[in-house]
Structure 1
Amino acid sequence: MYRPPLPLTRDLVLIGGGHTHALVLRKWGMNPLPGARLTVINPAPSAPYSGMLPGFVAGHYRRGDLDIDLVRLARFAGARVILGAVEGLDPDRQEVHVPGRPPVAYDVASVNVGITSDMPALPGFSDHAVPAKPLGSFAARWAEYQSGAGAASVAVIGGGVAGVELIMAMAHALRSANRSARLTLIDNARALTAIGAKAASIIRNAMADLGIDVIEQAAIVEIHADHIRLEDGRQIAAEFVTGAAGAKPYGWMAQSGLDLHDGYITVNSRLQSSNPFVFAVGDCAHLSENPRPKAGVYAVREAPILYGNLRASLGAGKMRPYHPQKDYLKLISLGGKSALAERLGTSLSGPLMWKWKNHIDQNFMNKFRNLPQMKAAELPRDHALGVPEVLGEKPMCGGCGAKIGRRALRSVLSDLPPPDRQDVIPLSGDDAALLLTGGARQVMTSDHLRSFTNDPVLMTRITAIHALGDIWAMGAAPQAATATIILPRMSPALQQRTMSEIMATASDVIRATGAEIVGGHSSMGDEMTIGFTLTGLCENDPIILSGARKGDALILTKPIGSGVIMAAEMAGLANGIWVAEAFRHMVQPQGEAARILFSAHAMTDVTGFGLAGHLQGICGASDCGAVIALDAVPVMAGAVELSASGVRSTIFEDNRAIAPELANGPKADLLFDPQTAGGLLAAVQADDAPGLCADLHAAGYPAAIIGMIDDTPGLKLQS
């Protein structure tokens, strides 16, 4: 008996990708709550594990070793990811505010955003120093400084455990690079007050061995490009200044109306705030019934309690209290592969403690590197012939819009009779039709995409750009659009939320082009599908496929590779940073690029049939051939690596048959990779190509000259 998918009825939103929420996402993927739609909001596609930061600075770990890949983790959990920094929480309206998108509604929310720094308020800090968080910018600045030559001068502001770990790691890294260095730790009170006297003594001796000066009870007046000026008049040489002090809660929490303690969200033993539908954990929360210091170990142990209580608040199970331990093991890096361990006043240090710390850190990170392989639904024992072959061994591609192959589409279209109407002008191979309406030349096109991201806002933006591509490629100005929306089964409240997000985003994208949404149609199905039918007006002759000329240069306005990246993302194989970068390319409108390329002889947008397929379309319509300079073709980050590992989109083989004569290879295969919201491919006068590329670069497009048109039929690679 067929059982339809259970409807979605409740929204759970995780604000922040902290350690607790990362563990909740992992547990959710192993045991999701049917009917609940899960969302995680975070500024970046990954969340760094702070416990390994000193090891990275010292050179013991690579940069990527520190990252929890939230995009991959969210795919495992079946959650949508919203990449953005939260700027507000409204418990009364049950909304989260993220710049650049409609409010994110929730039934239950949880906050795990950590803390921020007030160091930039220090005079000169913003101009001449770099905070230790966020890790990305700090890592880049430190790598640049560390790789330099000559004597180094470094200062760390803040004498807590984080500060001393950081400066000892820097000292070790500079010593390993054989650079002489002056290193200074500065605190306006006394350093290392959060640990016992014995442990503090061991750390002070380790800093002395590394040549680190410790300045205590000293207020900083101002930071300059090469020194720090103290209140007592001393000037401390420092070219690289960072801060591991001055932690404070995010400012938007004060505007939330929730009960706070020193700016942090007050929570009870069940981790609930003063609003029972808002939870908070980690450093951004204050445990009112059992206060504890800000330490990652508490955040990690909160995860199973938070997971269970979130499910209970959504209707499954009962609430449980969180009982934090009275003390915890402190493991402190000492620069090299040596560490100090302290608990209950007992301290041990040396290489063995480093191995212990590394073992604990790696075990924690392996929870996210090696996600469990969840058992797929089994095929029924009895089934019709051909079902396994059609299903294949991987999920249906979303990055190609679940498009059927080129041969099937062309075969069906070729069987249709030519138009009888005098106001419908047939165009060979073009995706948009040309209509004559009251003397005006109007183009019309339609496109839709099966959802490959669970975020309706991002999916809408990508689909609209994708659909507009045919209008822009013909040199037309977008005029009007209707939307066709299919939603998965969900409650009326979630329907309203989702449709509101989709239509607000669609209106923003379409209106930005000068067009208007004039209507649409919606229905329910098994999964989300978004489509648009659009019209555009041509003031000049439309740019069609058949106008390419021998000697024309070929310009591509966007890199290729989105198909293989989306295929990998759906299979849980893609790096989240690659995925986020691919999305950034997909949502870039091509209207200004089309305006710059108005003089093109032929133009198309690169979508489901891949670069080779769409270039073959130009060649076939123009009765010519083309030479592709493979080295010049821009590709998205990660695409070549994924192609080399054998990742392919579902219609790759069908696309590959378009030009079987072309060589194989990791990059060459990307010529057949189906693209979503891809760039414009234009055949232009060769002499004009460099200037047009310069104009495109100035407008923000990563355009490149990728080949030329010749008179020998077929596609060739430049030798």
Structure 2
Amino acid sequence: MMSSPVQLSRDLVLIGGGHAHALVLRMWGMRPLPGVRLTLINPGPTAPYSGMLPGHIAGHYARDELDIDLVRLARFAGARLIMAPAEAIDPVARTVSVQGRGEIGYDVASIDVGIHAEMPGIAGFGAHGIGAKPLDIYADRWAMFLSEAEAGRVPPEVAVIGGGVAGCELALAMAHALRTRVGAARVSVIEAGPRLTGRTRAAERHLRRAMAGLDVAARTGSGVARVTAEAVVLADGSEVPSRFTVGAAGAFAHGWLAGCDLPLTEDGFVRVRDSLQVEGYDDLFAVGDCAHLGGSPRPKAGVFAVRSGPVLYANLRAVLSGGRVRAFRPQKDYLKLISLGGKGAVAEKWGHAVAGRVLWRWKDRIDRKFMDRFRELPAMATGVAPRVVALGAVPQRPLCGGCGAKVGPGTLAAALADVTRPGRVDVLSGPGDDAAVMRVGGAVQVVTTDHLRGFTEDFGLMARIAAVHALGDVWAMGAAPQGALLSVTLPRMDAAMQARSLAEILREAGAVLNAAGAEIVGGHTTMGSEMTIGLTLTGLVEGAPLTVGGARPGDVLILTRPIGSGTVLAAEMQGKARGADVAAVLAEMARPQGDAAKVLRAARALTDVTGFGLAGHLMAICRASGVAAELDVAAVPVYAGALDLAEAGHRSTIWEENAARAPVPGATGARGLLLHDPQTAGGLLAAVDEAGAGAMLEALQAAGHRAAAIGRIVAGVPGISVLR
């Protein structure tokens, strides 16, 4: 977690992961401003680089090569990443409304959300067309269409509405890909004007020559009336066959900006001064295609966003620290390198144009150099290891968050062995199960507590996961959640930031707890060196609580969610995990399992898989039940990316103790390693009667859980073996 050398006093929020913001994050990681908490709000874990989009569409670049990994970049910058779309900005209250997350406050903010190319004015486009922007949505839809065409399920017919540079470039790229993968292509560019637009006559000649070589038809002077599933219908009634229709006729501002109290152009773009500050607001900036630079208007092109990055970084620091801002002076013209489908390109500037394969190689080098700035993040200086240390002291790798930071199972068991129990008759259980069981009047109540060291700078997401994690103990006992005490340690920050942070934490934890039937009834707050969130929960049980001690030979073992989260999060701390994999793990961890617990209420033994790993918690069932287990290692679901990361040597800090406490002879390779991986908000592990296992598994999967039957209980000395 981020540790600031001074008290945090200002919130800087970047809205959108556009090119300028990506550059700001990189520069911030190399030179942060002490006292600032940096937040990035973006719909997903990656942001596509527009310069490589045509090459990707043509098949020259893989999908991953197109994306800036915002998870890695945020970790490098010490920023929290909130992966949800912004829906509104209130520049007076200084808040950003985020889908599913409520309001995020700021002291200074910047908008870089790009544009879209959807065409609501054309009938049928919404149902049968796709805008060229947002780039990631278009790229994913194109990959699906290309696969369908390659399989022969749809004809390779494509139409692009808009004859500008982007439209022609994408038409050429799609024609090249279809000819390469399918063997045939029928691609058309439809332009309402009398000629192709956005370039000089010299550049247009090169483009038309390339279009002729790939049989891309140019239909100029052709207005579009509507779009159907099989064609684009023109204003004169004629039809252009198309099973994949792309909108590239202009740049459109995101509609949600119009609902904000912001100064906008008639087209909905945010008006900014030459300092990149929004007109009328010194604490709000806007850059990239969503902004309109009134004093020096420029076309919507990525080159200007890239050039504005250093100025934006400097001006954000200036406003946050009381300095002076400087002006952004965009160049009047810029070099345009336009892909021609295959590995050729045309270069145009100052009215001159040349084309050739060497120009594509030049463009490729420029694009790869830009992306390398985010793939090869500089190694920042760390503390120097002391030359003299105490006897027994050894260098330590960074401590993991979540359950990866727990005390090892052997150490904990030894400590608990010395706990004195006076023998109260209303305390029905001792240490060892998921929660304590007590009798309160005529009711049976379970009580549990869990505290997690932060593993994400997104305090709201951390609160949701902490709540799901703590609820796991109550659900595993077959209890209905009741009351919650919330304990929060915040990093040192001023009162305003404390209020914002606590509001996020209480809102998100409360949403999870309330949905589970529990209420926050109190708690404790303090400040420290890093974020910690803990909950103490009570639950009520009707009948006998479920325990780890009821498994019988012949029972089937069911696990409700994958393992490997500890490995993925440990690798993410080092900037080694894919952002998409991290996002998937966090989303699953934040998903409640109350519905799964109801399905498993008839289990004979039930627990949740947390810090001691799948093997450790299965061993707890075996010891308490006096049985053994046979594990089908290949059947255990695993999070995406976890196997490769485990194979590469990534481990949580508690892994060694987990492996020593619950060995699984015969479990080898990466899957064997992950059996001891600590899980935070892990799955429920149940031993169920074989007769009902199939129905339970079907119900869990129908509810959307990645549940699997992973082995069976057998007679024998408590232990785990591999099912042969």
TM-score, normalized by length of structure 1? 0.97
Which residue does 2:192 correspond to in 1?
Answer: 188
Aligned equivalents of 1:98 and 1:299: distance in 2? Answer: 24
Which residue does 2:172 correspond to in 1?
Answer: 168
For residue 240 of structure 1, report the CA deviation from its aligned partner.
Answer: 1.7
Count of aligned positions = 714
For residue 194 of structure 1, report the CA deviation from its aligned partner.
Answer: 1.6
For residue 189 of structure 1, report the CA deviation from its aligned partner.
Answer: 2.0
Aligned equivalents of 1:585 and 1:558: distance in 2? Answer: 8
For residue 545 of structure 1, report the CA deviation from its aligned partner.
Answer: 0.5
Asked whether the equivalents of residues 399 and 562 of structure 1 are also in contact (C-alpha less than 8 Å), the reply is: no
What do the CA deviations read for 1:387-437 (whole angstroms, capped 9, x no partner)?
4x1x41x21011425111001111101111234211001256203100000
Correspondences of 1:327-406 after superposition (within 5 Å): 327-387=333-393, 389=394, 391-392=395-396, 394-406=397-409
Aligned equivalents of 1:6 and 1:18: distance in 2? Answer: 29
Q: Are residues 191 and 610 of structure 1, via their aligned partners in 2, closer, same or farther at CA, if it must alter by over 3 Å?
A: farther
- SS at the partner of 2:462? helix
Aligned equivalents of 1:419 and 1:22: distance in 2? Answer: 60
Correspondences of 1:2-13 after superposition (within 5 Å): 5-13=5-13
Correspondences of 1:512-661 after superposition (within 5 Å): 512-660=515-663, 661=665
- Which of 478, 490, 493 aligns to 1:490? It is 493
Partner amino acid, structure 2, of 1:10: R
Q: Are residues 149 and 473 of structure 1, via their aligned partners in 2, closer, same or farther at CA, if it must alter by over 3 Å?
A: closer
Partner amino acid, structure 1, of 2:444: R
Aligned equivalents of 1:681 and 1:156: distance in 2? Answer: 52
Partner amino acid, structure 1, of 2:168: V
For residue 669 of structure 1, report the CA deviation from its aligned partner.
Answer: 0.8
Aligned equivalents of 1:657 and 1:133: distance in 2? Answer: 52
- Which of 408, 423, 426 aligns to 2:426? It is 423
Aligned equivalents of 2:36 and 2:29: distance in 1? Answer: 12
1:437 counterpart = 2:432: no
- SS at the partner of 2:669? coil
Which residue does 1:33 correspond to in 2?
Answer: 33
Q: Are residues 662 and 656 of structure 1, via their aligned partners in 2, closer, same or farther at CA, if it must alter by over 3 Å?
A: farther
- Which of 408, 423, 435 aligns to 2:411? It is 408
1:711 counterpart = 2:715: yes
What do the CA deviations read for 1:99-133 (whole angstroms, capped 9, x no partner)?
11131000000001111223255222232223333
Partner amino acid, structure 1, of 2:290: C
Unaligned stretches of 5+ residues in structure 1: none
Correspondences of 1:296-311 after superposition (within 5 Å): 296-311=302-317
What do the CA deviations read for 1:441-469 (whole angstroms, capped 9, x no partner)?
00000001000000110000000100110
Q: Which moved more, 1:205-214 or 1:616-625?
A: 205-214
Aligned equivalents of 2:595 and 2:261: distance in 1? Answer: 43
Asked whether the equivalents of residues 102 and 505 of structure 1 are also in contact (C-alpha less than 8 Å), the reply is: no
Q: Which moved more, 1:116-125 or 1:508-517?
A: 116-125
Q: Which moved more, 1:675-684 or 1:97-106?
A: 97-106
- Which of 285, 292, 300 aligns to 1:294? It is 300
Identity %: 54
Asked whether the equivalents of residues 399 and 567 of structure 1 are also in contact (C-alpha less than 8 Å), the reply is: no
Partner amino acid, structure 2, of 1:267: V
Q: Are residues 191 and 711 of structure 1, via their aligned partners in 2, closer, same or farther at CA, if it must alter by over 3 Å?
A: farther
Which residue does 1:250 correspond to in 2?
Answer: 254
Aligned equivalents of 1:483 and 1:613: distance in 2? Answer: 27
Aligned equivalents of 2:141 and 2:313: distance in 1? Answer: 37
1:277 counterpart = 2:280: no
For residue 17 of structure 1, report the CA deviation from its aligned partner.
Answer: 0.2
Partner amino acid, structure 1, of 2:310: P
Asked whether the equivalents of residues 116 and 132 of structure 2 are also in contact (C-alpha less than 8 Å), the reply is: no
Which residue does 2:107 correspond to in 1?
Answer: 107
For residue 180 of structure 1, report the CA deviation from its aligned partner.
Answer: 2.0
Asked whether the equivalents of residues 7 and 35 of structure 1 are also in contact (C-alpha less than 8 Å), the reply is: yes
Partner amino acid, structure 1, of 2:262: L
Asked whether the equivalents of residues 193 and 220 of structure 2 are also in contact (C-alpha less than 8 Å), the reply is: yes
Which residue does 1:667 correspond to in 2?
Answer: 671
Partner amino acid, structure 2, of 1:415: D
Which residue does 2:201 correspond to in 1?
Answer: 197
Partner amino acid, structure 1, of 2:630: V
**RMSD of aligned residue pairs (Cα, Å):** 1.5
Which residue does 1:157 correspond to in 2?
Answer: 161
What do the CA deviations read for 1:255-291 (whole angstroms, capped 9, x no partner)?
2222112311111111101211000111011111111
Aligned equivalents of 1:460 and 1:662: distance in 2? Answer: 38
- SS at the partner of 2:11? strand
Q: Which moved more, 1:307-316 or 1:543-552?
A: 307-316
Which residue does 1:206 correspond to in 2?
Answer: 210
For residue 246 of structure 1, report the CA deviation from its aligned partner.
Answer: 4.1
- SS at the partner of 2:343? coil
Aligned equivalents of 2:262 and 2:184: distance in 1? Answer: 51
Unaligned stretches of 5+ residues in structure 2: none
Partner amino acid, structure 2, of 1:179: G
Which residue does 2:67 correspond to in 1?
Answer: 67
What do the CA deviations read for 1:180-199 (whole angstroms, capped 9, x no partner)?
22111112224542211101
Which residue does 1:88 correspond to in 2?
Answer: 88
For residue 315 of structure 1, report the CA deviation from its aligned partner.
Answer: 0.8
1:504 counterpart = 2:507: yes
Q: Which moved more, 1:375-384 or 1:699-708?
A: 375-384
- SS at the partner of 1:100? coil
- Which of 331, 338, 343 aligns to 1:325? It is 331
Asked whether the equivalents of residues 19 and 49 of structure 2 are also in contact (C-alpha less than 8 Å), the reply is: yes
- SS at the partner of 1:218? coil
Which residue does 1:464 correspond to in 2?
Answer: 467
Aligned equivalents of 2:581 and 2:618: distance in 1? Answer: 26
Partner amino acid, structure 2, of 1:591: G
Partner amino acid, structure 2, of 1:215: R
For residue 92 of structure 1, report the CA deviation from its aligned partner.
Answer: 0.7
Q: Which moved more, 1:227-236 or 1:306-315?
A: 227-236
Partner amino acid, structure 2, of 1:641: D
What do the CA deviations read for 1:350-380 (whole angstroms, capped 9, x no partner)?
0010000000000000000100000111134
Asked whether the equivalents of residues 601 and 684 of structure 1 are also in contact (C-alpha less than 8 Å), the reply is: yes
Q: Are residues 606 and 297 of structure 1, via their aligned partners in 2, closer, same or farther at CA, if it must alter by over 3 Å?
A: same
- SS at the partner of 1:598? helix
- SS at the partner of 1:87? strand
For residue 304 of structure 1, report the CA deviation from its aligned partner.
Answer: 0.6
- SS at the partner of 2:649? coil
Asked whether the equivalents of residues 118 and 247 of structure 2 are also in contact (C-alpha less than 8 Å), the reply is: no
